[in-house]
C-alpha cells in the first residue's frame, strides 16, 4: 500500500459494527492485514502485539465458528479472553447496560458481541455499549476506550462478510479481478425458522462496493430491510457495478461466477417477531413461527442442486456459505443445498471460514494501535 | 516508602481473607502498589511478572465487577484464569474440599473465592481451602502454596474496601488527609432481601484504622456481627479516630465528609437463615424472607436523597457505593439512592470500582514474590 | 537418553489416544520429560514454548483433576485454553463433527477430549475428530494438524496411567526397579454405578510393558474388554513379566508391591447400557442400573481394608488410586477403601495425581515440536 493510501486510513479506536462505516481503503487495509496475519500463522511467526489485557465476548445466540475465531484472534494477538455470561453476573439484578459496560472494561481492549435475534435490538445494544465505554473513557473511568466488534447483529455480520471478501480476493487472484464478477446472493429453503438477515444484508452492501454485479434473489415476501437495499443500490452506482433483485433463483444463478444460497427469515416477519416478544405474546409467536415455516415449505425448490449449479458460468460457479449449511440428506431431509453440491465445495467453504480469525485479529490490531501507518509499513503492506 | 517500613512488610505467601490480619504498613503497601499499577496501565507499561501459572476463581454467588476485576488482574500480571465450576467437576461426586483444593493447585498461584451467602460459611470455607493447600505444600504435593484471596465472604469484602480506601486517598489527596474525616456508613432501603454484611463490616473495620470518624447508622434490628463492632471500636481507639452507632440516618449524615448508604440484611436474620437452610426448612425460609422484606419496607425513608446530602459537610459529601446500587426510578421503584444523587456521583462510583483490578493485582504480586522489598524499591514505592 | 534411542522417537504431530500405539522408548521419553518439566516448575523455570495458539478441551463427562491438569499444562506451555461447550455452539443445530472439528482448529495446537460414558463411543469420537483435522490439514484448511489428547475414553485413560507410571518410577527409584514388581489391579466395591473401564484397562496394558507382574482381580462377571485382556497377555509375554486374572482379591493382594483397588462397571453391562441408550429405552436403563447395583452390593467385601493391606509385601504395599476414591465413612457408608488405609496413603495419591499436568505438558511439547531430538538434547534427557 502506498504512503498516500495509508494516510487515509484512520481505524484507531474505532468500533467495527457496520461495514458501510468504513472507506474502501480501510476495508482493503483490514483484508490485506488479514492475508498477512494468515501467512504469519502459517510460517509460525508471532503476532503477539499485546502483553496483557482482556478481550470480552458477549454471545446472546449460539456460535461455534465465530466464538472460536474470536478466541483464536485474541490468543494470537496476546490478549486474554473473558466471556461475559449474563446469567452469572449481577446484570440480572437490575444493573444498567451503561454501568456493566464500564465495570467490565477497566483493562479491556476489545468487546465482541453477537446479538442477532431481534430486529432493531442487536445493533442498538452494540451502540449502547460503545457509547457507555466512550463516556467512561472521556470521564477518566477507563484508561482506553475498548473497540466494539460486531460478531453478528440484526443488521450486519462484518467479520463473516470480510472473510467472504478475503476468500474471493484469494480465489480470483486479486482485488481487481472482483470487478465485473457476478454473484447471486440467493435465499434457500430451510426447515428451520428465524435465521438472521445479517449475512445477506452484509453481502449485498459490502460486495457492491467493489464493482461486482450483485443479484439478490428470494421468493416474494422474503425481502430484506429497505434501507439496506437502498445502500446496496447506492454502493453499486458509485462503484460501477450493478445490483438487482429477482424472485427467480434460476435467473440469479444464470451465468453467475459465485453463488451464495442461504436461508433467512423475511424482514417483515422478524419485525413482527420482535414486537410479539416485547409484548410477551407467546401465542402470537407460535402462530408466527407456524406461518413462517409454512411460507418456507412452499419454497422447497429454492435448493442449490447440481441442476442449479449447471446454470452458472461454466457450470462451475464458486459456491459460498457462512456455515453451518442445511444439507439435504445430511443434517436435514431437505435444505439449502444438495449433498453432492455441498461435498464438492466443502473444503472451499472451510477455507472461506478460515479467514475469520485473521479478520478479527486484523481489526483488533488496526483499531488498537495508533501508529498504524508505521505498523503497516513495518509489515510491508 | 522508607527502608524501615519496607522491612515490616511480610506479605509473601500470605492469604488475603480479612483486613484485620494486616498491619497498617502492609495495607498502605498494598494500596500504594495499587496506585502504581494503575499508573503503569495508564501509560501502557507491562506488569507481566508471571510467565505462566493458574489463577483459579470460585464464585458461589453472582458477580460482575469482582469477576472481571479478578480476570483483569490475572491477565495483567501474566497468569491464566481458570474458573472452578462446581457443577462440572467431581465435587458433586462426593470429593472432599481438602482433596479438591490440592487437585486444582498443582500449578496454581492464586485462588479467589466469593462465598458470601451464609453467615458462618464463607470465611470458614476459605480457611478450609487455605489449610488444605498449606498441608499439600508442606507434604511436597504442591510446589508452592497458592494465595487465597477473599472476593467477598460472609464477614469481609477486602478487595472492595481496599478499592474504597484507594478512592478516598486519591480523592482527598493523601493518606494524612483521611485523618479526622467523617464517614457515614449507613443502611439504606432496598426492595430486595439477603444482601451480605461484608461491605459495611469491611468499611467500619478498615476505616477505623486510619483515624477517621466512622458513624455506623441503621434502623433498629439491623445490627452487624457483634465481634466486628468490637473490632471497629478497638481500631478507632488505637488510631485516634472515633466510632459510633446511631439509628438516625440524618444524624449520621450531618456534617459527613463521606456517605456510604447501602442496604444489608440484619445479622440476626442472616444467622436464622443459615440455620433454616442447614435444616432444609423451606417454609421457614419463605416466612423469614417475608418478615425481612416487611422490616425493610418500614424503613423506606432510609434513602439517600438530595435532602439527605444537603445535611452533609458543605452539602457536598462524597457519595460512595460498591455497586450495583438500587436507584429509585432506575432499576427499582424506590431504593437506596435517588436518581439525581446517584447521577451526580455516578462517574465517581465508577472510579471507585476502577481500583479493584489493581488492588487484586497488587495483592497477587505482594503475596507471590518473595523479595518484596527489592520489588518495591525497584518500583520506587 | 542416548542418541540412538532419541532417533527412535517419532512423536511429532501424533495423537495421544491409546498407550499401545507408542513404543517403550516413546513412553519413556514422555515420562522422562514429565519429570524434567516438574523439576522446572519446582525451580520456577519457564516452559513457555508457545507464543500463542489454542488448546481446546471437550468434556463430555465430569472432571476436576484432568480438567485442571489440562488447564495447567496449557498455561505452562504458553497456549490458551478454550473449552468447547457443546450446548453453546451450533453443534446442536445439526453441524457435523467433521465440520466442527475444522471450524475450531484454525489456530489450534491441541484438542483434549474426555468421552468415557459409552462403550464403543469415546475412542471412536476421538478418531473421528482426529481424521477430520487431518483431512483439513491435508487440504490446506488448517496450517497445522492439531494433536488429539485422550483425557479418558471408553477404552483407555493414558494421561492417568502415565501419571501412575511416573509415580511408580519415582517411588521405586528407577525404571529398572519396576521389573518384577507385583501390582494388583483390583476391582473394589462402590455404591455407585457405571464407572468407566478405562483405568483398569489402561493399567493392565501399560504396566505389562515393563516386566511387571500384573494381577487383575475382580468378582465373576466384572470382566474387561476381551481384546484388552489379549493385549495385556501379549505385552507381558514380550516384556518378560507376567499377567494373570483372579476372582480372589486376597490372592491378588498377597505379596503385592502395589495395589490399585478401584471400582468399575462390568464390560457386558456397559455394552448393554450403550445399546439401551442408543435405542432410547429408559425402562431398560433403570432395570440395568438396578441390576448392576445389586451385583455390586453382593461384593461389598471387595474393600481395601487394613486386613487386606496386611496381606501385601511387608504389609506395606503402595496403595494407588486415580481419585476421587469412595472412602468408607468419608464420602459413602461403604466403598472402595477404608478410611484408615486411605488416610495413610492420601498424600501419596495426591502426589500420584500431581504428575498429570506435566504428563500432558510433555505430550503437548513432544507432539507439537518437530525437532524433538534437539529439544531433548537441549533439555539433557
- In tens, the pLDDT along B278-333 reads 888 889 989 999 999 999 999 999 999 999 999 999 999 999 999 999 999 999 99
Is the per-residue pLDDT at A295 higher than 70?
A: yes
Q: Do C350 and B141 touch (CB under 8 A)?
A: yes
Q: What is the mean pLDDT of residues A75-87?
A: 92
Q: What is the pLDDT of residue A185?
A: 98
Q: Do B107 and C72 touch (CB under 8 A)?
A: yes
Q: Which stretches of C206-352 are assigned E, i.e. beta strand?
A: 213-217, 242-246, 258-262, 318-319
Interface test with A, best of C71, C135, C141 (most A CBs within 10 A): C141
Distance of CA A88 to the CA centre of its chain: 28
Q: How many Cα atoms occupy the beta-carbon half-sphere of C245 within 13 Å? A: 16
Between B6 and B173, name the one with better pLDDT: B173
How do the domains of chain A map onto residue ranges? 3-156+356-378, 160-354
Q: Extract the C-alpha cell encoding B336.
A: 437506596
Note the pLDDT tens digit of each residue in A6-59.
777 889 999 999 999 999 999 999 999 999 999 999 999 999 999 999 999 999
Please state which of the ranges A74-78, B192-196, C34-38, C314-318 shows the lowest mean pLDDT: B192-196
Q: What is the pLDDT of residue C375?
A: 67
Residues in chain C where the model's pLDDT stays below 70: 1, 88-94, 372-376, 378-381
| Beta carbons of B341 and B327 less than 8 angstroms apart | no
In chain A, the N- to C-terminal Cα span, in Å, equals 5
Q: What is the mean pLDDT of residues A236-248?
A: 97
To the nearest whole Å, the CA of A62 is away from the closest chain C CA by: 5
Q: Do domains C3-156+356-378 and C160-354 have the same CATH topology?
A: yes
For residue C141, list chain A residues with Cβ-Cβ distance below 8 A: 347, 350-351, 354
Q: Do A80 and B78 touch (CB under 8 A)?
A: no
Q: What is the pLDDT of residue A373?
A: 61
Interface test with C, best of B53, B74, B80 (most C CBs within 10 A): B80
> How many residues comprise chain C?
381
Q: Residue B194: pLDDT band by 50, 70, 90 thresholds?
A: confident
Of C93, C96, C100, the CB nearest to A330: C96
Nearest CA in chain A to C141: A351
For residue A77, list chain B residues with Cβ-Cβ distance below 8 A: none
Which chains does chain B touch, 3 or more C-beta pairs < 8 A?
Answer: A, C
Measured torsion, CA atoms of residues B335, B337, B342, B343, in degrees rounded to the nearest 10: 60
Is the per-residue pLDDT at B94 higher than 70?
A: no
3-state class of A114 per DSSP? strand
For residue C143, list chain A residues with Cβ-Cβ distance below 8 A: 41-42
To the nearest whole Å, the CA of A106 is away from the closest chain B CA by: 6
Q: Do C141 and A357 touch (CB under 8 A)?
A: no
Q: Which residue has the cell 488505637?
A: B238
Laid out side by side, the sheet with C54-59 consists of C80-83, C54-59, C108-115, C147-153
To the nearest whole Å, the CA of B157 is away from the closest chain C CA by: 27
To the nearest whole Å, the CA of B43 is away from the closest chain A CA by: 9
Nearest CA in chain B to C325: B95
Which chains does chain C touch, 3 or more C-beta pairs < 8 A?
Answer: A, B
Interface of C with B (CB under 8 A): 41-42, 46-48, 59, 62-65, 67-69, 71-72, 74-78, 80-81, 192, 323-324, 326, 330-332, 347, 350-351, 353-354, 356-357
Of C51, C56, C141, the CB nearest to A351: C141
Residue A278 exposed, middle or buried by CB count within 10 Å (0-12, 13-18, 19+): exposed
Interface of B with A (CB under 8 A): 41-42, 46-48, 59, 62-65, 67-69, 71-72, 74-78, 80-81, 192, 323-324, 326, 330-332, 347, 350-351, 353-354, 356-357
Q: What is the pLDDT of residue C3?
A: 72
Between A171 and C380, name the one with better pLDDT: A171
For residue A102, list chain B residues with Cβ-Cβ distance below 8 A: 350, 353
To the nearest whole Å, the CA of A231 is away from the closest chain C CA by: 31
Which chains does chain A touch, 3 or more C-beta pairs < 8 A?
Answer: B, C
Residue B328 contacts by C-beta under 8 Å, 6 or more apart in sequence? Answer: B303, B334, B335, B337, B338, B339
Q: What is the pLDDT of residue A64?
A: 86
Q: Extract the C-alpha cell encoding C52.
A: 500463542
Q: Do C88 and A323 touch (CB under 8 A)?
A: no
Nearest CA in chain C to A43: C143
- Percent of chain A as helix, strand, coil, to the nearest 5: 50, 15, 35
Instruction: For residue A3, count other CB atoms closer than 10 A to its CB.
Output: 9
Instruction: For residue B155, count other CB atoms closer than 10 A to its CB.
Output: 27
Q: Extract the C-alpha cell encoding A187.
A: 435465499
Q: What is the pLDDT of residue B8?
A: 77
For residue A88, list chain B residues with Cβ-Cβ distance below 8 A: 59, 62-63, 67
% of chain B residues with pLDDT over 70: 95
Q: Residue B128: pLDDT band by 50, 70, 90 thresholds?
A: very high
At CA A357, angle to CA A356 and CA A359, rounded to 5? 60
Please state which of the ranges A85-89, A329-333, C164-168, C263-267 shows the lowest mean pLDDT: A85-89
Taking the model in full, what pTM does it have? 0.95
Q: Do A75 and C54 touch (CB under 8 A)?
A: yes
- The matching CATH number, chosen from 3.30.420.480, 3.50.50.60, 3.30.420.10, 3.40.50.1370, for C3-156+356-378 is 3.40.50.1370
* Cα distance between residue A326 and residue A314, in whole Å: 25
Note the pLDDT tens digit of each residue in B56-80.
999 998 888 899 999 999 999 999 9
| Beta carbons of C109 and C147 less than 8 angstroms apart | yes
Instruction: For residue A374, count other CB atoms closer than 10 A to its CB.
Output: 11
Nearest CA in chain B to C60: B88
Please state which of the ranges A369-373, B250-254, C12-16, C334-338 shows the lowest mean pLDDT: A369-373
Of A75, A78, A324, the CB nearest to C99: A324
For residue C166, list chain B residues with Cβ-Cβ distance below 8 A: none
Q: What is the pLDDT of residue B93?
A: 56
To the nearest whole Å, the CA of C308 is away from the closest chain A CA by: 48
Q: What is the pLDDT of residue B359?
A: 98
Interface of A with B (CB under 8 A): 51-54, 56, 79-80, 82, 84, 88-96, 99-100, 102-104, 106-108, 136, 139-143
For residue B54, list chain C residues with Cβ-Cβ distance below 8 A: 68, 71-72, 75
Q: Do B65 and A103 touch (CB under 8 A)?
A: yes
Nearest CA in chain A to B329: A94
Q: What is the pLDDT of residue C44?
A: 92
| Beta carbons of A157 and A322 less than 8 angstroms apart | yes
% of chain A residues with pLDDT over 70: 95
> How many residues comprise chain A?
381
Q: Do B76 and A52 touch (CB under 8 A)?
A: yes
Note the pLDDT tens digit of each residue in A355-368.
999 999 999 999 99
Note the pLDDT tens digit of each residue in A111-140.
999 999 889 899 999 999 999 999 999 999
* Cα distance between residue A181 and residue A189, in whole Å: 25
- The matching CATH number, chosen from 3.10.20.30, 3.40.50.1370, 3.30.70.141, 1.25.60.10, for C160-354 is 3.40.50.1370
- Percent of chain C as helix, strand, coil, to the nearest 5: 50, 15, 35
- The matching CATH number, chosen from 3.40.50.300, 3.40.190.10, 3.60.15.10, 3.40.50.1370, for B158-353 is 3.40.50.1370
Measured torsion, CA atoms of residues A14, A15, A19, A23, in degrees rounded to the nearest 10: 0
Please state which of the ranges A376-380, B94-98, B166-170 shows the lowest mean pLDDT: A376-380
Interface test with B, best of C61, C68, C74, C77 (most B CBs within 10 A): C68
Q: Residue A61: pLDDT band by 50, 70, 90 thresholds?
A: confident
Amino acid at each position: 500500500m502506498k504512503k498516500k493510501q495509508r494516510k487515509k486510513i484512520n481505524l484507531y479506536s474505532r468500533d467495527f459494527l457496520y461495514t458501510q462505516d468504513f472507506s474502501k481503503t480501510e476495508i482493503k487495509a483490514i483484508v490485506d492485514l488479514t492475508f498477512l496475519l494468515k501467512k504469519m500463522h502459517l510460517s509460525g511467526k508471532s503476532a503477539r502485539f499485546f502483553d496483557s489485557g482482556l478481550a470480552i465476548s458477549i454471545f446472546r445466540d449460539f456460535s461455534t465458528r465465530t466464538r472460536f475465531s474470536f478466541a483464536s484472534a485474541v490468543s494470537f494477538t496476546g490478549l486474554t479472553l473473558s466471556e461475559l455470561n449474563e446469567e452469572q453476573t449481577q446484570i440480572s439484578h437490575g444493573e444498567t447496560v451503561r454501568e456493566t459496560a464500564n465495570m467490565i472494561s477497566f483493562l479491556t481492549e476489545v468487546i465482541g458481541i453477537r446479538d442477532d435475534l431481534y430486529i432493531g435490538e442487536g445493533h442498538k445494544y452494540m451502540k449502547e455499549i460503545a457509547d457507555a465505554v466512550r463516556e467512561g473513557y472521556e470521564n477518566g473511568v477507563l484508561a482506553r476506550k475498548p473497540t466494539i466488534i460486531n460478531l453478528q447483529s440484526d443488521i450486519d455480520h462484518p467479520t463473516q462478510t470480510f472473510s467472504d471478501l478475503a476468500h474471493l480476493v484469494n480465489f480470483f487472484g486479486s482485488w481487481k479481478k472482483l470487478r465485473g464478477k457476478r454473484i447471486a446472493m440467493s435465499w434457500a429453503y430451510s426447515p428451520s425458522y428465524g435465521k438472521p438477515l445479517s449475512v445477506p444484508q452484509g453481502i449485498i452492501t459490502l460486495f457492491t462496493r467493489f464493482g461486482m454485479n450483485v443479484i439478490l434473489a428470494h421468493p416474494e415476501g422474503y425481502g430484506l430491510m429497505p434501507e439496506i437495499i437502498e445502500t446496496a443500490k447506492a454502493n453499486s452506482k458509485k462503484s460501477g457495478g450493478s445490483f438487482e433483485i429477482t424472485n427467480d433463483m434460476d435467473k440469479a444463478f444464470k451465468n453467475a461466477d459465485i453463488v451464495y444460497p442461504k436461508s433467512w427469515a423475511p424482514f417483515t416477519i422478524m419485525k413482527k417477531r420482535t414486537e410479539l416478544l416485547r409484548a410477551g405474546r407467546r401465542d402470537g409467536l407460535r402462530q408466527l413461527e407456524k406461518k413462517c415455516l409454512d411460507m418456507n415449505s412452499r419454497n422447497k425448490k429454492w435448493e442449490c442442486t447440481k441442476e442449479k449449479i449447471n446454470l452458472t458460468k461454466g457450470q462451475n460457479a464458486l459456491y459460498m456459505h457462512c456455515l453451518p449449511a442445511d444439507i439435504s440428506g445430511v443434517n436435514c431431509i431437505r435444505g439449502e443445498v444438495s449433498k453432492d453440491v455441498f461435498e464438492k465445495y466443502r473444503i472451499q467453504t472451510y477455507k472461506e471460514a478460515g479467514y475469520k480469525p485473521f479478520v478479527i485479529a486484523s481489526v483488533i490490531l488496526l483499531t488498537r494501535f495508533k501508529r498504524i501507518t508505521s505498523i503497516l509499513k513495518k509489515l510491508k503492506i
